[in-house]
Amino acid sequence: MIKPHGADTLKPLFVYDTEEHHALLSEAEKLPSLLLNSAAAANAVMLGAGYFTPLDGFMNLADALSVSEKLHTTSGLFWPVPIVNLVKDVSGIGDARRIALRDPNVEGHPVLAIMDIDAIEEVTDGQLESMSVHIFGTTDKEHPGVATFINLGNKLLSGAIQVLNFSYFQSDFPDTFRTAVEIRNEMVERGWQKVVAFQTRNPMHRAHEELCRMAMEDLGTDGILIHMLLGKLKPGDIPAKVRDDSIRKMVELYFPANTVMITGYGFDMLYAGPREAVLHALFRQNCGCTHFIVGRDHAGVGDYYGAFDAQTIFDEKVPEGALDIEIYRADHTAYSKKLNKVVMMKDAPDHSKDDFVLLSGTKVREMLGQGIAPPPEFSRPEVAKILMDYYQSTQQ
């Protein structure tokens, strides 16, 4: 199986030893506490789950700036997005160097992790703007990722962490949330060696379904990891529970047994386009995947990125050998009326737009809200039913 990034074995920061876990929870109750924001909490969950191997905690300012500008830490580790703990106020922890990190997303704010603080550094607004430009390609506060990032705070806490729970992800999505450790173990149990991953924050329509099938066939993989984001999204995006239900129904009805793993990970969407695509590839390598599908406007939002910027970054910014996982490059995919099947548009040069079944996201949402199913060439009827029920429930 493919090696994790920058290490021979995964480095999950979750404390699995029962005695040590209990001892740390007891210790945490006596430590000064810091209530995290959702972005830092998501980083802690990803660190705990092994997705961010080989990191041992939150980056310091020098590493955060280096990663933003050069895509590597000061020690030379390739990394595309800073993994940081930025906060507004540290007055509650005084001069403590060992603190409890508390979860902002769970009632009662339970302890999420214990942190050994190496440094507390002041980040200037100029440095936040500089990082935003490199990470998101813009400082426009209308960009949801930028709006979140520049408002996290100007105090950066760096240091190693020991993770004690996985926030709300295990309780809310017990059948779907999986750590990188669990995904690797299941691949071994299934006997999978060659695996392609598909990232989604949306329900999957026919084009997505067929894209997965194309990738498996073209690459000759043992199976596909459908890996959905379970964390925070921008307003208007479909909740994870609805996406989960619709994807499970599609796989149940339209994929052969033992060809798909449906899983999810606990992270908040960055909407960072190309940079986020590279991060997605990196932590799919940590999951054990050998290939990763990067499609049109991957991890994008609005008109901030070119249609294929998330593919060209792997040619222009990712050094040779920095990642072992390989990229499967996908074009816009749609149902061809001429060929009576879903194809990549680049593979149908004799087609005009009218030869494809194309519907805008706005049009699809309008139809679903009115109880009108999109054509079966666009969406499986069983999937459309789940989405119609959701959209109609939001209008009541």
Among 97, 98, 190, 201, the active-site one is 201
Question: How confident is the model at residue 354, as a pLDDT?
Answer: 92
Residues 334-339 have a mean pLDDT of: 92
Cis peptide before 376 (omega within 30 of 0): no
Secondary element (H or E) of residue 52: none
Determine the Cα–Cα distance for residues 394 and 345; give it in Å rounded to an integer: 34
Q: Is the pLDDT of residue 196 over 90?
A: yes
Task: Specify whether the CB–CB gap between 132 and 149 falls below 8 A.
Answer: yes
Provide the terminal-to-terminal Cα distance of the chain, rounded to the nearest Å: 49
Within the chain, which residue ranges are assigned CATH 3.40.50.620? 175-394
Q: What are the CA-CA distances from residue 38 to residues 141, 232, 263 (Å)?
A: 18, 8, 21
Q: Is the pLDDT of residue 396 over 70?
A: no
Residues 193-206 have a mean pLDDT of: 95
Question: How confident is the model at residue 227, as a pLDDT?
Answer: 98
Q: Is the pLDDT of residue 385 over 80?
A: yes
Question: How confident is the model at residue 1, as a pLDDT?
Answer: 85
Spell out the residues 6+ positions from residue 208 whose beta carbon is closer than 8 angstroms to its own: 198, 200, 202, 333
Regarding the domain with residue range 18-170, which homologous superfamily does it belong to in the CATH classification?
A: Sulfate adenylyltransferase (3.10.400.10)
* Catalytic (active site) residue 202: yes
Q: Is the pLDDT of residue 226 over 70?
A: yes
Within the chain, which residue ranges are assigned CATH 3.10.400.10? 18-170
Q: Is the pLDDT of residue 395 over 80?
A: no
Question: How confident is the model at residue 258, as a pLDDT?
Answer: 93
Question: How confident is the model at residue 361, as a pLDDT?
Answer: 79
Question: How confident is the model at residue 394, as a pLDDT?
Answer: 84
Mind listing the pLDDT tens digit for each residue in 350-363?
A: 999 999 999 887 88
Question: How confident is the model at residue 270, as a pLDDT?
Answer: 97
Residues 109-129 have a mean pLDDT of: 98
Determine the Cα–Cα distance for residues 110 and 102; give it in Å rounded to an integer: 6
Regarding the domain with residue range 175-394, which homologous superfamily does it belong to in the CATH classification?
A: HUPs (3.40.50.620)
Q: Is the pLDDT of residue 211 over 70?
A: yes
Mind listing the pLDDT tens digit for each residue in 72-102?
A: 999 999 999 999 999 999 999 999 999 999 9
Among 98, 202, 329, 365, the active-site one is 202
Mind listing the pLDDT tens digit for each residue in 132-169?
A: 999 999 999 999 999 999 999 999 999 999 999 999 99
* Catalytic (active site) residue 201: yes
Question: How confident is the model at residue 290, as a pLDDT?
Answer: 98
